[in-house]
Structure 1
Amino acid sequence: MNAAFLAPAITLFNEDGTLDLTSQERLYNNLIENGIDGILVEGSSSEFFALNMEQRREMAKFAIEKVAHRVKLIIGTSSMVADEIIAFSNYVLDAGADAVMILPPYYFHFGPEALLQYYDRLAKEIHGNIYIYNFPDNTGYTIPPETVVQLALMHPNIVGLKDTIGGMDHTRELIKLVKSRVPTFEIYSGFDDNFARNVISGGNGCIGALSNLVPEITSAWVRAFRENDLDGIAKGQQRIDRLMDLYAIRNPFLPVLKEAIKLRGIASSSAGTFPMPNATIEDDARILELLAKENLR
């Protein structure tokens, strides 16, 4: 059974707030060497919302150069300004990115007609592949499956969607409705523990943040699906289910994920953007306990 697991790469910073490109390259290489199927840069795990456009272009250009077509590379180009999205998207596509991923407008809640107009304009002016990003916890509303069907039929360059929703109800409807009309349309879950359910339902897999920390586990899970290894599939589900406890240590979870990556020796610092809190000594204890239980160092 075909399946894919992509990593929504975190953005790593030095303690002074500058981009830590040395650790960033180490993260990309670790993901690729451990078999990840693709990398999303400047997605929701990246703190793109706290970067100015100059930093975002620098990060995108760096990722394109360092990933170097070894795996699929998607750049998140979300903004509240449509012209910025279009210009940034075309910049990264011209530089060598495989696709871009775009959230719907946030702050105000928009209905199906406005969303159709929004993505219709973007698709007409962006000369490359686009993934829609549905993340209702952060935008405040959900993109209806019927709207996604319309957009997929209207624009061949709208090629897929990441659905970051805790349950599978919405994702299941997307798979049923969209893939029945456009079978090549890619549908990924955004929570790691939904990977198996997504694939079994006919989706394409997951773009989940735990892969930053344990790409060897998520890649083994993918291999189990491709080899029809039921025991391997179950083992992957159970390990990820246990590691999902990392998300519950702190809200927002990014400081915990960054600290865990630092503790595994991938990043030099777990610094984030203001006002993102830092992980605490108590957080470290819980992280180390979880890693030890999974024999991860």
Structure 2
Amino acid sequence: MEEEEEATLDMLLQQQIVEALARRTSSGDEGERKTPPRPTPTTPRPAMQPGPWCRVSPWQFYIHRRGPADDAGEEQLPGTTSTPSVSTSTNATPAPQTTPRRPPSTTTPPASTSAATKRKRLDLENENENKNEENEKRAKAVVIESGVDDQPVPSNDVGRSTNAAREHRQGHVYFIAASPYRDECKIGHSANIIKRRQQLQTGNAARLEVLYTIAQPSAGEARMLEQALHAYLAHRQLQGEWFRLSRDEVRAAHALASHLSSEVIHTLAKLSTTITHTPTSTATEL
């Protein structure tokens, strides 16, 4: 009897276990959750603007298009971050709220003020340019050009007049002739021989070249040496400063003028004012 009762109990227990497993399996299949279809929104949401910042995955784009009401009760999708739930109980400690920092305020000056500042700056620039031009003009009036190397030399006669500065600057006596040489030479004086030759070259078909130069301490002494040479060569004068001289005679006149003393130069310069010479011929047009 006892064995039969135990067998009956075992059979009932196994039957209950099978029924429980069957119920659990059927309830698991029926209760399986499925993703509900996305409801149609009543109000259209703005579309995401295309751009380099729009680098989102399909899941993130799907979550962006959905609202918080659509995501209520839905399990978290892969690749997204869950939103922490907010407790509505009265005993819950509220989270500390941080006040966002405001960016530093940049005060933009009114348009009238900026325009006035710009106008004032332009006036100052124009004034500085005018001052620079005046200073350059004054420097040009003071700077004296040398004769041979055509380099500017500052004058020591800043407080004197322009004529006095010209008289005390360095001078040169030059011998200029046409190339090829045609036994005609021009004897004169200048503070800048290069510019003087360029002036004489203007309008002349023949090319002019400087044969010899004699440097003098001042323009006044250069003028006296020129007058002395004109008096010494008065019998060979063609017209003005042109003389009929061969190359050897030009070389001899240059050597003589280079070794003349100041007394002889002064004497010949005085004689040049008293000599009256009537040229028998005129200089050939160059």
TM-score after normalising by structure 2: 0.19
TM-score after normalising by structure 1: 0.19
Greater relative contact order (Cα < 8 A, sep 6+): 1
Higher percent of residues as helix: 1
